[in-house]
Structure 1
Amino acid sequence: MFLYPLILLLLLSPPALAQKEAKEVLPEQLKLQKIEQELQEKKSKLIETKKQEQQSLFQLFQIKTNLKQAKQKLNNANRKITVNEVQITKLRVEINEAAVLLQQKEAKLRRRVREIFKNSSVNYLDLLFSSRNMSDFINRSYFFSKLVESDVDLIDVINRKHRETTKKKETLQVVTSEIKDLAQTIAEKKQEITEQQKKEQEVLVSLKERREDYEKRIAMLEKSSEELTQIIQQKLAKQGKKVIVGGTGSIDWPLRGRITSRFGYRRHPLWGGRNMHTGLDIAAPSGTPIKAADGGEVILSKWWDGYGKAVVINHGKNIQTVYGHMSRIYAQEGTSVAKGQVIGLVGSTGYSTGPHLHFEVRENGKPKNPMNYLP
């Protein structure tokens, strides 16, 4: 009878222990999944924000180009109106002068017509018999013929002036109509410019708001770097003069790849603000192994704000290296690593534009140019 409870206890114990372990592991797994999900969401939002910013900048460029073209057309229309107004004024003066001249010529012509009708009975025989001599007859005949020629010329002048006046009136009508069309064009261009300026203002406000937000994020990144400096210094102080196992005193490349951003002040690839870049950005496909630049002790291994998943290794001799934006961390805090040992994988966690390794070299916790240490 005693064996049955014992057997029952042995049968029930493994599942019970397994259930207990599951209860201990499950929350950690859920937490890890939640973190991974949150990281992916943040990464997607950052990528989308960058795309939107690029679209806004392109839109602003297009608006400025359209605005410049609209203003140019407006200036051309205004210049043309000025030229046409001068032409209209000149045409009106010429038409008025022609009208006065026509009135004078027509009055003169009417007088000549009356004179011709009054003297219509005069002929060359009358001129001959009324002349004192042949010389007087010739003079009178010549004068009469010239008078007739003058009347014909006067009629020609009047007809020509009528034609010129009609042509100028037609020109005046065309120019006046053109001015009306230009005035309509100017009104439309002014409306277009007003709308473009409104759009430009909206884009500028949007960019300003984004810039302010990005400046805050940049400040957070700089704060993260400063806090990381303090943490490194605190951990170094706790370690005291402890000898770091594995440190060779020389720093090697953690991976091979194209350097996309060097140490020093730069324009941030996501937000455009000018900030201090405290390390090297080395482009590499996601999942590429990251190796310890030298042997040493891992003094930080966790998510660290803008750095994302990060690892800090103390190599002794006041030198530390930092590895940021990792997708996976293999080196745990408090453990020792050998030079060339894989400590994690390339990713794009934290504030990142794409898969790469952010690599820093620090001296007593303060960032230094890695190129001065690398072979």
Structure 2
Amino acid sequence: MVKRAYQRLLAGVLLLGLSGLLGLGWSLPAVSLSKLSSHFFSSTPQTPYLAQVTNSVEELQRQQQRKEEERSRLQRQQDQLEGLERSAQKRLGGIQQGIRATAAQIAQNQAKLKAANQELVKLEAQLAKAEKSYQGKQSATVARLKFLQRQQGSRGWALLLESENLNEFLDRRHQLRRVYEADRTALAQLQTAAVAIERQRRQVEGQKNEVALLTQELQAQKVEYQAQAQSQQELINRLRQDRAALEAAEEQLARDSRNLAVLIQRLAGNRSRIAVRGTGQMAYPSIGEMTSSFGYRMHPILGYNRFHAGVDFGADTGSPIFAADSGVVIFAGWYGGYGQSIIIDHGNNLTTLYAHSSELYVSEGQSVQQGQAIAAIGTTGLSTGPHLHFEVRLNGEPVDPMSYL
């Protein structure tokens, strides 16, 4: 019974070390290890004190479960954020295309407006000239008609009767007819000029209306352009904020990776001997296709080169994850950006890590055999989709897993 209690105490101490690395802020009761050791290794068991420690460990385990549930909820929110970001980027592409099309249309309308204004100036000048000519012809014709009306009565016949002979009579009659014909021609020309001027007036008015309509369309498009530009800027600002949040998460993942070396050394150091050692020749931990290799790569979210400490295998959620080699599980739980993770110690300072799992099948301290299913593929932690992130570490430092597979 004392031995089992000691094992549970050791698990609590290890859990405390993990919580320190993960920033969970958990704390154990103020009990010194020397005092606990004296109780556990003394010949007389001290049951009340042991029960207190056991209860503390169980409380820590319950706290760990609550923390993991909270992290799962936050992960779901992150997945939703990533979906919104992809949709926003798609909308951004559409807005940019709309802005380019609107800018081109505005340029065309500006050219049309300029040409319409030039034509309007030309037509107005022609209209002014036609109106001036019309007024001059109208004044001259009216004056002559008034004169002829005064002379048309007795004076017209008097001119004919004063003729001395028939030839003079006929000549005067011909001259009078020419005057009358000229007047009729002048009146017809005035009427034609009036029709032309009216036609030009309607043309000028139509041109003015067209220019006004083009101006309204241009103003409306300008307002739309400004609204799209504002919307685009707001979208860019939101994406920048989201990007900053993702970068912060990625930095946390990088810190987790660095702290992992310390964690592995600490956990492995607590086991002077492991029950099962690996063969040194590892098997593939997943039947999925390898989607990302070890080393620097273009980050799928942040869009620039970052160091990738392992290899990724793409597979459906729930697909099995296998132990690459035999060994002892020294960690099984949530580890920051790695999400639900497992670390196996294979001896000879060699460990493997299996991250982003949806479910864990083994627990800390358990011995596993090569090819044994230890977890299920998932997308917990900082992840863009269901996959296995697999690392091999020598003395706590990441090495290329393909050198061992």
2-side partners of 1:128 and 1:249: how far apart? 148
Q: 1:193 aligns with which of 208, 225, 231?
A: 225
1:160 is matched with 192
Report how far residue 282 of structure 1 moved.
1.9
Report how far residue 306 of structure 1 moved.
0.9
Report how far residue 97 of structure 1 moved.
0.7
Residues 131-170 of structure 1: pairs in structure 2 closer than 5 A: 147-170=179-202
Shift of the 122–354 alpha-carbon distance from structure 1 to 2, 3 Å rule, reads same
- What amino acid is the match of 2:124? R
Shift of the 21–344 alpha-carbon distance from structure 1 to 2, 3 Å rule, reads farther
Q: 1:180 aligns with which of 183, 203, 212?
A: 212
Report how far residue 128 of structure 1 moved.
8.0
1:310 is matched with 341
2-side partners of 1:238 and 1:27: how far apart? 23
- The question of 1:44 aligning with 2:44 is answered no
Q: 2:248 aligns with which of 216, 235, 240?
A: 216
Normalising to structure 2: TM-score of the pair?
0.71
Q: Determine if contact 2:277/2:347 at 8 Å carries over to the other structure.
A: no
Any idea what the Cα deviations from partners look like across 1:174-217, whole Å, max 9, x if unmatched?
A: 22233333333333333333333222222222111111121111
Q: Matched residue of 2:219: which SS?
A: helix
Q: Determine if contact 2:356/2:381 at 8 Å carries over to the other structure.
A: yes
- The question of 1:351 aligning with 2:382 is answered yes
1:61 is matched with 93
Q: 2:352 aligns with which of 306, 321, 328?
A: 321
Shift of the 44–190 alpha-carbon distance from structure 1 to 2, 3 Å rule, reads same
2-side partners of 1:371 and 1:122: how far apart? 131
2:323 is matched with 292
Shift of the 146–275 alpha-carbon distance from structure 1 to 2, 3 Å rule, reads farther
Aligned-residue CA RMSD in angstroms? 3.9
1:86 is matched with 118
Q: Determine if contact 1:244/1:315 at 8 Å carries over to the other structure.
A: no
- The question of 1:102 aligning with 2:131 is answered no
1-side partners of 2:56 and 2:147: how far apart? 134
Q: Matched residue of 1:290: which SS?
A: strand
Shift of the 214–243 alpha-carbon distance from structure 1 to 2, 3 Å rule, reads closer
2-side partners of 1:37 and 1:53: how far apart? 24
- The question of 1:247 aligning with 2:278 is answered yes
- What amino acid is the match of 1:34? R
Shift of the 142–358 alpha-carbon distance from structure 1 to 2, 3 Å rule, reads same
- What amino acid is the match of 1:189? Q
- The question of 1:339 aligning with 2:334 is answered no
Q: Determine if contact 1:246/1:338 at 8 Å carries over to the other structure.
A: no
Range moving further from structure 2, 38-47 or 257-266:
257-266
Report how far residue 298 of structure 1 moved.
4.3
- The question of 1:283 aligning with 2:314 is answered yes
- What amino acid is the match of 2:86? Q
1:121 is matched with 157
Report how far residue 163 of structure 1 moved.
0.5
Shift of the 230–125 alpha-carbon distance from structure 1 to 2, 3 Å rule, reads farther
Shift of the 332–22 alpha-carbon distance from structure 1 to 2, 3 Å rule, reads closer
Q: Matched residue of 1:120: which SS?
A: helix
Shift of the 54–130 alpha-carbon distance from structure 1 to 2, 3 Å rule, reads same
1-side partners of 2:389 and 2:228: how far apart? 42
Structure 2 residue runs of 5 or longer lacking an equivalent are 1-47
2-side partners of 1:114 and 1:25: how far apart? 126
Any idea what the Cα deviations from partners look like across 1:100-152, whole Å, max 9, x if unmatched?
A: 211222233235435644473377786782858x9xx77x7776665554433
Aligned residues: 352
Q: Determine if contact 1:307/1:324 at 8 Å carries over to the other structure.
A: yes
- The question of 1:30 aligning with 2:30 is answered no
2-side partners of 1:59 and 1:120: how far apart? 90
Any idea what the Cα deviations from partners look like across 1:242-270, whole Å, max 9, x if unmatched?
A: 99964333222112013344434444445
Range moving further from structure 2, 298-307 or 46-55:
298-307
2-side partners of 1:128 and 1:369: how far apart? 136
Structure 1 residue runs of 5 or longer lacking an equivalent are 1-15
Shift of the 373–112 alpha-carbon distance from structure 1 to 2, 3 Å rule, reads farther
Range moving further from structure 2, 142-151 or 59-68:
142-151
Normalising to structure 1: TM-score of the pair?
0.76
> What is the percent sequence identity of the aligned residues?
30
Q: Determine if contact 1:215/1:273 at 8 Å carries over to the other structure.
A: no
